[in-house]
Amino acid sequence: MSGRGKIRVMCRYICAGLFACGLAGFPFVSSALEQATRLLNGHSNEVLAVAFSPDGRLIASAGTDQTIRLWDPDTGRDVRVLRGHLGAVHALAFSPDGAQLASGSADTSIRIWDVASGRELHAVTSTFGAIRAITFSADGKTIASGGNDRSFRLWEAATGKELKSVRGQFGVVFALQFSPDGKTLATGSSDMQVHLWDLATGRQRQALSGHGGAVHSLAFHPNSQWLASASADGSIRLWDLESGQEHLTLTGHKGEVYAIVFSSDGRALVSAGADGTVRVWDVASGNERHTLGGHKGPVWSLAMSPDGSLVASGGRDRSVRLQPPTPPTLSAQLSEKVQRRGNEVGTPPSPPPLAEADLAIRPMEAKAGSEVTLTLAVRNTGKGPLYRFQARIKSDDPALDGHLFYLGKIEGGQSAEDVVTIKVPADRPDGSVPVRVEFEEYNGFVPENLKAVLALKGLPRPRFAYTLQIIDDGSGNSVGNGDGRLQRGEAVDLLVTVKNVGAVQAQNTSVDISIPPNPSLKLSKSQVDFGLLKPDEAKHATVNLFVGRDIREDQIPIRLFIKERGLHTTLDDTMKVAVDHKAAPQIVATNKLVSVGTQSAKIHSGAGTEASVIASAAKDQGLAVTGELGDWYRIQISPKEIGWIAKADVIESQQPVKGEMPIPTISGTPVVKLYQNAPPVIAMATPSDGTEVGVERINLAGAAASEKGVARVEIRLNGHLVTQRDSRGIAVKPGGSDIQTNVEFSERLALQEGKNQIVVTAVDRDNLSASRTLHVTRVVDRGKIWAVVIGISNYKGVQPLRYADKDALAFHDYLANHIGIPKEQTTLLLNEQATLMNLKRTLGTDLRRKAGEKDTIIVYYAGHGAPEADSSAGDDDGLEKYIVPYDADPRDLYTTGLPMREIETIFQRLTPERIIFISDSCYSGATAGRTFATASRRAVVSENFLSRLSKGKGRIVLSASKASEVSEEREDLGHGVFTYYLLEGLHGKADADKDGIVTVDEVYGYVAKKVPEVTGQNQHPIKKGEVEGQLVLGHVR
C-alpha cells in the first residue's frame, strides 16, 4: 500500500434542503473553545462532592464548609448557595428529572432541595451517623443512603419516609449505586468488598472480593454488564456481573482512588485520587488514555457531563475544576487555528457553496508509538462562502477519536487545508482501525462523511502462558495425600508458573488469583509479583488454598489475571479444578521404568483426566515411575518435577529395575513442558542451528507439542513450503481422543549452496502458532577464483576520465587483501596496459587456459563505454555497444573497440560454472560520465545486450547504470559513484543479515539503494542473471 491514502467526497445541496441538515453530534468550535479548563471558586474549604444535573446545565458542589453551591458550567457563574447542613456535606445526587437535589452530611441528615428555587423540601435527621453516600433510583422514587453506621437505607424520595434498612458486617459504607435496571443496589465499604443486593428481597446476592483497601466509589457501566469499583489500595477494578469475576484491573494512581465515573457511551472511565490527578481510561483495553492535572492535593470527587464533554472535579484545594476529558494541548491547538483562520459566520449565501473534501493519511500503516498525520483538504467549488467549516474524526479507538480539523471561512473557488497529527499509543496491537470524518458548516453545507481505514503495526509485545499445578504431598505449606488433586480437608499449594512466550521482556509482571466467595475455601493471598520476565523466562510462586470438609461444590473456578505494566499486556483465564468428595486414596510407592506406547501421551498434574496437562511425551520416550494410584503412574519428568500419566499410555520395561531408580537418559525427542495459552512447543532433534554440511540433502527431525492439540506442522526451506503435515493422518487408539498433543516430523531437505534457512511452524487447534528457525550452511568446493581488473582513465585518443583507474586499483586491492585471491590468479590492467590486444588475450586466451569448471571468474571494468550504429547488432535499438580500450579510435570502434557480442562469445568459451562481470561504465553516448557519442546514434539504448551477457548457467552481470543513463564520477567521493558504494557495501554495509559474508544479491541491493539516492535518481544500477545458491562476493572483517 502506498504511503498516502486519499478519499474524496462532494457536497451537492439545493437551497430547499439547506436547513434539513442536523448539526447534532458535536458542538460548534466556539463551544469547544469555551471548554478550556475553568476554576469554580467559592467554597471556603475542601470540596467533597460534585454532581452534574441530568441536562448538563448545572453543577452542584459541596464540602466541609457545610454549603452546597450550584454553578452554570457555560459561564462558571455561581447560581445559588444552599445552606442548612450543620456538618460537612459528603454526598450529592440529582433526581433523574433534575428537579430535586439530595445531599448527605456528617450532621447525620439527608436533605432534599428544590433546584429551581433553592428551597429545602424536607430533611431526614437521625442518629445513624455521618452520611457518606447517596443516590436516586432510575425512576426517581427512591433514595439510597449509606454511611458510618454500617448500614444502607432506602427512603421514599417524595416524603422522606424510610422504606428499608439493611445492616451487616460490611463496615462503613462509602459508596452505593443503583443498577440501570433498578433491580440491584451495589455498595462499597470499609471491609474491602463490593456487595450486590437484591432490592426485591433485601438479601445479598454476591460479594466481590479482590481489593486490598476500603472501596470508596462505584459506577455501573451503561450496558449493566460491568461494575467499576475504586479503592484505597490504589486500584480500579472492573467486574463482570454475570460471572462475578474481575474483568480488568486499572492501576496508575499513586495512592488511594476516591472517585470514578463512566462516560455516557461507556467507552471511557474517569478516576480521581489522592495523587491530585484525574485520569481517563480506555474501558475496552484497560489502558490509561491521559492524565488531567491541575489540582493541588487530593481530588475527592468527580462528575462528568451527560454529553461527555466536561469533567468536574473537587478536592482539598477548595476549587471545582471544569475541563474537557482530553489533553489541554488539543484545546490550545484549536484556539490557535481559530485565531489564524477566523470564526466568521453569515447567512446562507445564494448562489450556494459546494464543498469537496480529500483526506490523506501518512503513513497508511502507522507503527505503535509513532505519529500518524491526517491532512484534510477542502475546496469550495461553489459560488458562495463556507462559514466555520470544520470536521471531527470519529473512531472506536480513543486515541484517534475526537480530533478536530478547523478550516474556518472558505470563499467560492478557494481551498483550505488542515493537518492533525496523532500519537499512536505504544500499546496498540496489529490491526486495522476504521475512521470516519464528520463535517460541520455554519449553514449546513457539508459533504458526506469520509471513511478510511488506518493500518496499525504493533510493537513486539510480551505474551503470557501459565501452568497451575496442585501440590499436596506435604512439601511447603501443603497437607494432603500427594495425588495432585483436591480432596476435602486438604490445604494444597497452588503452584503458579508464568512464562513469557513473547518476543520482548515483560515489566512489573504480577498475577491476581481469585476464587468465588465461599466459607469453605480460604486463599492465603490474592496477588503474586514476578517483576521482570525476560523472553522465554518462567517464574514460579505458590499460594495456599484450604478446602473445608463441608464443601459441596464439585468444581472450584480459580481465576488468574496476569498483567504487566510496560505495554499493558494481560491474560485473564479461569481454570476449573475438580473437587474429589471421596476419601483420599493411598498412593503405592513403586520403582519401575516405562516407555510411551502411544503416538503421544499427555502428562497431567494429578492422577485424573480432569487434572491440567503440564507436559507431553512422544512415542518410545522412557519415563521413571515412582508411584501408582489406580489407573495412573506418578512419573519423574525432571529432577525436580513430577507428573501423572495414564497406565494405558505406557508400556512397562521388560527388565525390572531394582534399587533406586535413576531418571532415564532421554534419547530422541524429550518430554515437553506445556503451558496454558501458550503456542505449541517445538523440539528439534536434528540438525543443530548453525550446522555446516558438505552434502546436498539432510534429514530434519523433531516434534511439536501443545496442550490443546497440534493441528498441523509446516516446514519451509528458504521461504518455500516444503511440506505441511496435519495430525489427522496419525493413527489413534480406538475410542481414544483424536487430539494429538505431540506430533513428530521427519523430512529430507535438499539444500542450496551456502546458507539455508529452515523454518518449522506448528499450529494448534486454537490457531496459535510457534516457529523455530534453523540455519544450515552447505559448503561446496568451488575451486579457485580468477580475477581480471581493468581500469582506464588516460586514453590514447579519447577524452580522459578522472577516477576509473583509481576505481580498478581499489577493487583489485579489495580482492587481494579481503578475499585473499593470490597474485598469480589476478590480472590488473591499468591505462596503457589495457590495449585491445591485451584485453582479448587476457579474457579470451589466458582465462580459458587457466580456469577450470569448478572455478569462479570475476571481471571488473571501469572506463568508457560507447554505442555505434550497426543494424546487424543483436539488439532492437540498431546499436552495437563497445568496451573502449586504451588504444581505441572513437571514429572506428568496429576495428579498435571490443564489442559486447565478442565479450559474449568469450564468456561462452570459458568453462567455469560461475562468471561475474562488473561494469562501471555506460553506453548511452551522453556528453557526460563514462561514455561518449559516435555519429548517427539513436536516443534510446536497449539493455538486451546485458541479458545476452548473463545468458547461461552461473552468469551474473552488475552494471553501474541502465543502458540509457550516465555512470557518474564524483569529486567529493574520489571515485565513480557506483564503485564507491560497491566497495562500501563489500566492506560490510551490504551485509544485510550480518553473517559476515556479502553475496552478490546483498551488494546489488545496497548499490541499488544508495546510487540513485546520491545521483538524484539519475543513475540506477542493474543486475542480470541468476545463479544456484548463494554467490559470495565479499567477506566482512
Query: Maximum CA pair distance of the chain?
Result: 121
Strand 120-125, strand 109-114: pairing: antiparallel
Task: Please tell me whether residue 44 adopts helix, strand or coil conformation.
Answer: coil
Is residue 704 within 8 A of residue 742, CB to CB? The reply is yes
Residue 89 bridge partners (DSSP): 105
Is residue 967 within 8 A of residue 1019, CB to CB? The reply is yes
Tell the CATH superfamily of the 464-580 domain. Immunoglobulins (2.60.40.10)
Residue 166 bridge partners (DSSP): 152
Going by pLDDT thresholds of 50, 70 and 90, the confidence category of residue 332 is low
Per-residue confidence (pLDDT) for residue 583, from 0 to 100: 83
- Give the pLDDT confidence of 415-446 residue by residue, as tens digits: 999 999 988 887 777 888 899 999 989 898 99
Enumerate the domain spans of the chain: 38-326, 343-457, 464-580, 588-652, 681-726+740-778, 785-926+935-1035
- Give the pLDDT confidence of 783-792 residue by residue, as tens digits: 889 999 999 9
Bigger pLDDT: 949 vs 381: 381
Q: Which cell is 179 given?
A: 443498577
Distance from C-alpha of 445 to C-alpha of 17, rounded to nearest angstrom: 10
Q: Which cell is 1020 given?
A: 540506477
Architecture label for domain 38-326: 7 Propeller (2.130)
Average pLDDT over residues 565-571: 76
Going by pLDDT thresholds of 50, 70 and 90, the confidence category of residue 563 is confident
Average pLDDT over residues 752-772: 86
Instruction: Tell me which CATH code domain 785-926+935-1035 carries.
Output: 3.40.50.1460
Q: Which cell is 569 given?
A: 499486556
Q: Using alpha carbons, list the distances in angstroms from residue 995 to 13, 754, 817, 821, 991.
A: 64, 12, 19, 21, 7
Burial letters 921-949, b for 16+ CB under 10 A, else e:
bbbbbbeebbbbebeebeeebbbbbbebb
Amino acid letter, residue 301: S
Pick from 702, 673, 703, 665: nearest CA to 685? 702
Q: Which cell is 59 given?
A: 453543577
- Whether this model's pTM surpasses 0.75: no
Neighbour count for residue 655 (Cβ, 10 Å): 8
Distance from C-alpha of 965 to C-alpha of 977, rounded to nearest angstrom: 13
Over pLDDT 90: what percentage of the chain?
39
Distance from C-alpha of 967 to C-alpha of 953, rounded to nearest angstrom: 28
DSSP track, 738-760: ---SEEEEEEEEEPPSEEEEEEE
**Is residue 703 classed exposed, middle or buried when 0-12, 13-18 and 19+ CB atoms within 10 A define those classes?**
buried
Ramachandran region of residue 117, left (φ > 0), alpha (ψ -120 to 50) or beta? alpha
Average pLDDT over residues 3-32: 35
- Give the pLDDT confidence of 213-258 residue by residue, as tens digits: 999 999 999 888 899 999 999 999 999 888 888 888 898 898 999 9
Instruction: Tell me which CATH code domain 343-457 carries.
Output: 2.60.40.10
- Give the pLDDT confidence of 364-388 residue by residue, as tens digits: 788 888 999 999 999 999 999 999 8
Per-residue confidence (pLDDT) for residue 810, from 0 to 100: 95
Over pLDDT 70: what percentage of the chain?
88
Angle at 384 between CA 379 and CA 389, to 5 degrees: 50
Per-residue confidence (pLDDT) for residue 993, from 0 to 100: 78
Distance from C-alpha of 111 to C-alpha of 173, rounded to nearest angstrom: 18
Lowest mean pLDDT among 30-34, 634-638, 909-913: 30-34
Per-residue confidence (pLDDT) for residue 546, from 0 to 100: 93
Is residue 998 within 8 A of residue 1034, CB to CB? The reply is yes
Per-residue confidence (pLDDT) for residue 34, from 0 to 100: 40
pLDDT above 80: residue 910: yes
- Give the pLDDT confidence of 572-594 residue by residue, as tens digits: 888 889 898 888 888 888 888 89
Neighbour count for residue 179 (Cβ, 10 Å): 18
Per-residue confidence (pLDDT) for residue 386, from 0 to 100: 93
DSSP track, 375-419: EEEEEE-SSSPEEEEEEEEEESSTTTTT-EEEEEEE-TT-EEEEE
- Give the pLDDT confidence of 650-681 residue by residue, as tens digits: 998 765 444 444 444 434 345 666 677 777 88
Residues contacting residue 849 through CB under 8 Å, at least 6 positions apart: none
Per-residue confidence (pLDDT) for residue 946, from 0 to 100: 64
pLDDT above 50: residue 13: no
Residues contacting residue 1035 through CB under 8 Å, at least 6 positions apart: 818, 819, 996, 997, 998
The helix or strand, by DSSP H or E, that contains position 1002, with its residue range, turns out to be helix 1000-1014
pLDDT above 60: residue 1032: yes
Amino acid letter, residue 531: G
The helix or strand, by DSSP H or E, that contains position 555, with its residue range, turns out to be strand 555-563
Residues contacting residue 13 through CB under 8 Å, at least 6 positions apart: 21, 352, 354, 444, 445
The helix or strand, by DSSP H or E, that contains position 978, with its residue range, turns out to be helix 977-984
Going by pLDDT thresholds of 50, 70 and 90, the confidence category of residue 937 is very low
pLDDT above 70: residue 11: no
Is residue 176 within 8 A of residue 204, CB to CB? The reply is no
Pick from 146, 239, 136: nearest CA to 188? 146
pLDDT above 50: residue 27: no
Distance from C-alpha of 993 to C-alpha of 479, rounded to nearest angstrom: 55
Bigger pLDDT: 738 vs 569: 569
Lowest mean pLDDT among 7-11, 606-610, 778-782, 891-895: 7-11
Pick from 777, 821, 1003, 782: nearest CA to 914? 782
pLDDT above 90: residue 314: yes
pLDDT above 80: residue 990: yes
- Give the pLDDT confidence of 146-191 residue by residue, as tens digits: 998 888 899 999 888 888 888 877 889 999 999 988 889 999 999 9
Per-residue confidence (pLDDT) for residue 874, from 0 to 100: 65
Per-residue confidence (pLDDT) for residue 866, from 0 to 100: 87
Measured in degrees and rounded to the nearest 5, phi and psi for residue 363 equal -75, 165
pLDDT mean across residues, the chain: 84
Neighbour count for residue 324 (Cβ, 10 Å): 19
Q: Which cell is 446 given?
A: 457539508
Is residue 987 within 8 A of residue 937, CB to CB? The reply is no
For the four alpha carbons of 832, 836, 837 and 843, in that order, the dihedral sign comes to: positive
Pick from 499, 464, 456: nearest CA to 569? 464
Residues contacting residue 607 through CB under 8 Å, at least 6 positions apart: 483, 484, 485, 629, 630, 632, 634, 644
- Give the pLDDT confidence of 472-531 residue by residue, as tens digits: 988 899 998 889 889 999 999 999 999 988 888 988 898 988 888 788 899 888 888 999
Q: Matching CATH topology for 38-326 and 343-457?
A: no
Q: Which cell is 22 given?
A: 442536523
Bigger pLDDT: 707 vs 121: 121
pLDDT above 60: residue 26: no
- Give the pLDDT confidence of 615-638 residue by residue, as tens digits: 888 888 888 898 999 999 999 887
Residues contacting residue 67 through CB under 8 Å, at least 6 positions apart: 43, 81, 82, 83, 85, 89
Rounded to an integer, what is the distance from CA 894 to the centroid of its chain?
A: 64
Beta strand spans in 654-768 (E): 672-673, 681-686, 691-693, 697-705, 710-717, 720-726, 742-750, 754-764
Is residue 94 within 8 A of residue 73, CB to CB? The reply is no
Is residue 103 within 8 A of residue 113, CB to CB? The reply is yes
pLDDT above 70: residue 935: no
Per-residue confidence (pLDDT) for residue 973, from 0 to 100: 92
Burial letters 542-570, b for 16+ CB under 10 A, else e:
bbbbebeeebeeeebebbbbbbbebbbbe
pLDDT above 50: residue 5: no
Instruction: Find out if CATH 2.30.30.40 is the number for domain 588-652.
Output: yes
The helix or strand, by DSSP H or E, that contains position 240, with its residue range, turns out to be strand 235-240
Per-residue confidence (pLDDT) for residue 376, from 0 to 100: 92
Instruction: Tell me which CATH code domain 681-726+740-778 carries.
Output: 2.60.40.10
Q: Which cell is 318 given?
A: 477548595
